[in-house]
């Protein structure tokens, strides 16, 4: 994925001006995240607009808003959206989650929220400032992300994330405090022999769930697994 663009079946993502490029985490979350049949979806930290466009492709009655604090990424995401078939249902805004939370009109305004959040600690900050903002919890601590999800979601709304497995228990605890309850989780393994390094999880606001846990193995015999292909079949060009 080292090119300046990535072609999907129904749209193209240019990402040369974005700190975080098209990657497996965003693709699998965008393909998997549970969604309502209609309503408003928020993509927090939209970057190139990848997941916002994936949400729009998956639901023809969904209206998607992507937000990001990186001005260059916002400009490129808007270009990607404008060139897609979903331009009438996707908006990209240059603002932080904290700014959106301060707008009283947005309280309980969304039916679903998706986020591929920053999760590296500040002690590991890379020298590039743009990449640091995209990858590190200094710009969006977990507790602020979770508080934002609770404020912006309607009751019964869905909040989906992908995280390192070693961060999940603490993230789930913080969600519980904010009345966000695990509906389902998927452990993501590179191969059957490797331990899971990521977990995708969907939380529901105000409704305690009997949660389920599944596993997604990405590769078999050096190629994409059958489950990975099924999950991403509507998006990837094979």
C-alpha pair distances (Å), 56 with each of 39, 43, 71, 98, 237: 11, 11, 22, 24, 18
pTM score, two decimals? Answer: 0.91
pLDDT band, very low/low/confident/very high, at 3 (cuts 50, 70, 90): confident
Q: Quick check: is 29 in a domain? A: yes
Q: Quick check: is 201 in a domain? A: yes
- 40-75 per-position pLDDT tens digit: 999 999 999 999 999 999 999 999 999 999 999 999
State which residues form the domain around 150. Answer: 20-230
Q: Quick check: is 14 in a domain? A: no
Number of domains making up the chain: 1
pLDDT band, very low/low/confident/very high, at 238 (cuts 50, 70, 90): confident
Q: Quick check: is 102 in a domain? A: yes
Q: Quick check: is 39 in a domain? A: yes
Strand duo 180-189 + 12-14: pairing? unpaired
CATH code, 172: 3.40.50.150
Q: Quick check: is 86 in a domain? A: yes
Nearest to 41 by CA among 102, 86, 104: 86
- 136-180 per-position pLDDT tens digit: 345 679 999 999 999 999 999 999 999 999 999 999 999 999 999
Q: Quick check: is 182 in a domain? A: yes
Measured torsion, CA atoms of residues 122, 95, 130, 127, in degrees rounded to the nearest 10: -30
Q: What is the mean pLDDT of the chain?
A: 91
Q: Quick check: is 99 in a domain? A: yes
pLDDT band, very low/low/confident/very high, at 129 (cuts 50, 70, 90): very low
Contacts of 175 (CB under 8 A, 6+ apart): 146, 149, 159, 181, 182, 203
């Amino acid at each position: 994925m080292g090119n300046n663009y990535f072609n999907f079946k129904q749209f193209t993502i240019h990402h040369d001006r974005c700190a975080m490029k098209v990657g497996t985490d965003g693709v699998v979350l965008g393909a998997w995240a549970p969604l309502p049949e209609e309503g408003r979806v928020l993509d927090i930290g939209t970057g190139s607009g990848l997941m916002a466009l994936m949400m729009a492709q998956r639901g023809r009655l969904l209206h998607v808003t992507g937000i990001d604090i990186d001005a260059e990424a916002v400009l490129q995401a808007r270009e990607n959206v404008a060139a897609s078939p979903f331009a009438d249902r996707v908006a990209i805004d240059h603002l932080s989650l904290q700014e959106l939370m301060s707008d009283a009109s947005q309280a309980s305004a969304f039916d679903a929220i998706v986020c591929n959040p920053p999760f590296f600690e500040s002690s590991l900050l890379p020298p590039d400032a743009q990449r640091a903002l995209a990858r590190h919890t200094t710009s969006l601590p977990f507790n602020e992300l979770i508080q934002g999800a609770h404020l912006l979601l309607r009751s019964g709304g869905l909040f989906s994330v992908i995280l390192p497995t070693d961060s999940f228990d603490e993230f789930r605890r913080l969600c519980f405090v904010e009345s966000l309850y695990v509906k389902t989780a998927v452990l993501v393994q590179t191969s059957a022999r490797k331990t899971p390094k990521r977990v995708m999880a969907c939380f529901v606001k105000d409704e305690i769930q009997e949660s389920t846990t599944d596993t997604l193995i990405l590769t078999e015999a050096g190629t994409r697994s059958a489950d990975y292909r099924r999950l991403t079949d509507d998006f990837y060009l094979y």
